[in-house]
A and B are shown apart, each in its own frame.
Chain A
């Protein structure tokens, strides 16, 4: 197999990798030829990684890293401008009692709140640069994705135009489960194109698989591979609206996929578990899994994120405990 170049557009690269046209048959043959997953074995491996004991210096490192990897999120129907302002304020100063506390990678909001978030961030907004806090927006008729392609693309363009640095799109799970891989592929390619800004740069594209609706691990592997093939910069487990959301085995599997993709193409794709990760202890299990599956290079907010809302406060409490030697309580960190 020739190694496709990352410089190619996704469709061309996919053709090179598949060694044929992008027909439904070729896509299917490619995806179904991927290694299968043994559920018992995958879950056993994830459980084993979850028993690593992270203490002292490693723990301090892990806590700060976790904060830097968080996409601080509010995705409620009743989100207000005030709620988003509070979220941004929390991102700017996660722990007023300790100015050395790092900031999260991004705030993640609905598309209509992007402008509001950008404004609230002010000079701390990264505006596509490498420093500062990103604004991530869910788009493409999140969370169900049940709308026409035009609506989904317009949703994306609106968010990008309002200043979104990152777009979290959902795949069409119905099409995927019908075996209509081409449709899923095309939508990702089109959404990626909709992430293009006027200056020619692109907002980062995170592709949400909603693994709880794909159900089987084989489906998760195929959907992950398909999303990367179509040009996704990140693969993300869940919207947070469907149970089960992120689990350690699913995240491990997705990490194995990006590791395999790097081996094949040299290109590094990010992974974002989202939904249900609420404790520092859980977050550390994910970090161990990242490091032992893809290597320490992946312990970087460019390649791994947590989609979470309540995780930050538990990490802050753990962090305070490491500094002071005592546990405080939930009233010693701020709510949103």
Chain B
């Protein structure tokens, strides 16, 4: 064995204390769902983790009624200061149970433990701390004195960052005084159930947070429910469009965080070694299953070959395998459906003239795996330069001038994120100003902070999460 292979360093799952089956968490009680239960499997082994209840229309109604009653009787009446206390308590418990949550998230989602341990879970706690601080300062969110919560918030989150997306939704909603009914994705419901336990542990009043599991129909029933005041969704553009249609004409408020096809622009004067890291982080973080991934690399033509050589060399050191191993850089794809989608799109990219390259890397026999891939020779009109792949696949295009880079970066139906790599400050500012994307990173990528708003242009959705804007989304101006 060579030194670079490193001996296995797997994180123990002994810290977990999982149940075989999880019920719905409604009104502070664990209740059986009326739908057919479903199983969640670990994507790296295809082994079943637990079974989860499925909520039908009646269960959804019960959850919304529990949330409404908690809003009327406790949470909506409570002072911001007291709400803040609960949120701070939740944040502290999240920190105390960080290792357990990191292991559970890695097991259920397939992402590497080093990402859940160093990125996801710390950010989850940070989000609750941040929003807890807002709870008694709502007069300062920019909506005048005494802004009011909407009431019951219906929230649907995706499988790529299960607990982080829960935090992005639940923390600001509760801080603003709303109660919530949240549905996690059907492939990653585990950490939401652990969060329910944390709500119990924190003594959160019954009904303030309700968690219902199930597939798309459960989410649809939740969105349609007449007693929901605010809908927040993160997921695919197609589903986002259906939700927008479903609630059109009602007075429900809506925020949508949808797909993306982020441009990562590398100018010839970029700090090259760091740009390579940024490209790697931009597309291989969480196996590229990130809506703001830098999936379209735009490289200035005169450094294209250098950047590709260095990138390929760097990709050869990425370690793919057991997500629970502390040395794993690239974990498993979340589901077999997603793996099929990635495989199909890459095949199409190659059929359209792209050249796909992956480092020599052995894929485990079990589980859902896709090797990190870079596709060169891609044109702006290629399918893989336009469609969101949501996998570890980088499409590479070139440009010659800043204007061309801006035009190509903006030439997408999406507009969630973009990155600029250059050592020249004036150019960075000038280009950032012209990019039509909700987040523009310069000389870095995939950085998140609860104080910084996040959201999209065009088909990447509307509304913002995080920062003052994120709080505003859960409030209306006071009377």
- Chain A residues packing against B (C-beta within 8 Å): 35-38, 40-42, 44-45, 51-59, 61-62, 65, 253, 256, 287, 291-292, 296, 299
Is A38's CB under 8 angstroms from B3's CB?
no
Indicate whether B327 reaches chain A with its CB closer than 8 angstroms.
yes
Determine the chain B residues whose CB is within 8 A of the CB of A53 once the complex forms: 6, 9, 326-327
Partner of A51, one of B6, B118, B278: B118
Determine the chain B residues whose CB is within 8 A of the CB of A55 once the complex forms: 6-9
Is A41's CB under 8 angstroms from B9's CB?
no
Is B271's CB under 8 angstroms from A57's CB?
no
Instruction: Report the minimum CB–CB distance from A29 to chain B (whole Å).
Output: 15
Determine the chain A residues whose CB is within 8 A of the CB of B114 once the complex forms: 51
Is B271's CB under 8 angstroms from A38's CB?
yes
Instruction: Report the minimum CB–CB distance from B149 to chain A (whole Å).
Output: 38
Partner of A58, one of B7, B118, B272: B7
Is A41's CB under 8 angstroms from B8's CB?
no
Is A58's CB under 8 angstroms from B274's CB?
no
Is A62's CB under 8 angstroms from B278's CB?
no
Chain B, 238-256, CB within 8 A of any chain A CB: none
Indicate whether B381 reaches chain A with its CB closer than 8 angstroms.
no
Is B7's CB under 8 angstroms from A57's CB?
yes
A55 and B3 CA atoms in complex are apart in Å by 11
Is B4's CB under 8 angstroms from A38's CB?
no
Q: A41-B274, A41-B443, A41-B444 are in contact. Are A58 and B3 (CB under 8 A)?
A: yes
Partner of B4, one of A51, A65, A296: A296
Determine the chain B residues whose CB is within 8 A of the CB of A45 once the complex forms: 273-274, 277
A291 and B319 CA atoms in complex are apart in Å by 13
Determine the chain A residues whose CB is within 8 A of the CB of B7 once the complex forms: 54-59
Instruction: Report the minimum CB–CB distance from A174 to chain B (whole Å).
Output: 26
Q: A59-B7, A291-B3 are in contact. Are A38 and B443 (CB under 8 A)?
A: yes
**Proximity bits, B5-37, A CB within 8 Å = 1, else 0:** 111110000000000000000000000000000
Interface of chain B, main secondary structure: loop
A53 and B5 CA atoms in complex are apart in Å by 11
Is B3's CB under 8 angstroms from A299's CB?
yes
Nearest B-chain residue to A291, judged by Cβ: B4
A88 and B424 CA atoms in complex are apart in Å by 52
Instruction: Report the minimum CB–CB distance from A258 to chain B (whole Å).
Output: 13
Which of B9, B272, B273, B274 has most A Cβ within 10 Å? B273
Is A41's CB under 8 angstroms from B271's CB?
yes
Instruction: Report the minimum CB–CB distance from B304 to chain A (whole Å).
Output: 15
Determine the chain B residues whose CB is within 8 A of the CB of A287 once the complex forms: 3
Q: A51-B118, A291-B4 are in contact. Are A40 and B9 (CB under 8 A)?
A: no
Is A296's CB under 8 angstroms from B3's CB?
yes
Which of A38, A57, A61 has most B Cβ within 10 Å? A38
A274 and B307 CA atoms in complex are apart in Å by 31
Chain B, 401-446, CB within 8 A of any chain A CB: 423, 443-444
Partner of A35, one of B273, B278, B443: B273
Is B4's CB under 8 angstroms from A44's CB?
no
Instruction: Report the minimum CB–CB distance from A163 to chain B (whole Å).
Output: 33
Instruction: Report the minimum CB–CB distance from B317 to chain A (whole Å).
Output: 5
- List 28 interface pairs A-B (beta carbons < 8 Å), by A numbering: A35-B271, A35-B273, A36-B269, A38-B271, A41-B271, A41-B274, A41-B275, A41-B277, A42-B274, A44-B277, A45-B273, A45-B274, A51-B114, A51-B118, A52-B6, A53-B6, A53-B326, A54-B6, A54-B7, A55-B6, A55-B7, A55-B8, A55-B9, A58-B3, A59-B7, A61-B3, A65-B3, A296-B2
